[in-house]
Amino acid sequence: MTTAKDLFIIAMDPRPERSVGQGDLSLALAGAELIDLIDAGTVTVDEDRIVPGEPSPPQDRLLGEAAERLSRESPHERIEDWLWRRGRDLAAAYQASLEEDGELIRKRSGRLSFGSERVEPVDTPARRAAAERWEEREPVLAALASAVGVEGGRPRGAETAEEAESAEDSDDFGDEPGLDDEAVTAVVTAVHDAVMELEAVRQRRTIENSAFANLWRGP
């Protein structure tokens, strides 16, 4: 399994109290793909630019698709731009792929046959491998999970007030334990920044929609 698929499975685990946003997850999945491509030697990172190497299609279909979509023209694409371009609807693509592979299953959330459906990971060797990687707090997986709000097996927001304040005061996500590769650190940092940017957009839209509703409601 790839890092992106492991991340998707961890994010789908029903235990976290806070569901992971599809947009956040899509950005993190794009980052996970890029990290796997770096590990495979398919790309290198020059400051914040993605530099493709010799084409070597990965065996995984989605990772191969990511490699094919790399920009090979100079100046090369920035990591942030890749996350937004590749990340568009990427969570849905991974869900469909994992369902097709039998790694996810749809279940009814209620006893009645017309209850709403939810998707759950199946107990397969791949899921157990992802869980083991998560339990061992493999640095890359832990850092990407943190970006989408799953930290230490609990959702972001479940930490103490002191921890939350400390997290807000820190903008350096390169301090994630075990991230000793500059290229990987650059990708993880870009994922965190993109997720924060997406959250800022959501909050701005909420404020604008609220102001619009109040305008029509009148005094």
Interatomic CA distance for residues 150 and 137, integer angstroms: 12
**pLDDT for residue 108:** 62
**pLDDT for residue 179:** 73
- Structural domain boundaries enclosing 36: 3-217
Stated as kind and residue range, the H or E segment containing 154 is strand 154-155
**pLDDT for residue 73:** 87
Look up the pTM and report it.
0.80
Our count of domains for the chain comes to 1
**pLDDT for residue 163:** 42
Stated as kind and residue range, the H or E segment containing 150 is strand 150-151
Across the 219 residues of the chain, what is the mean pLDDT of every consecutive 10-residue run? 94 66 94 95 94 84 94 92 96 95 79 60 92 93 92 44 41 53 94 92 75 58
103-108-111 Cα angle (round to 5): 145
Structure tokens at 49: 């630019």
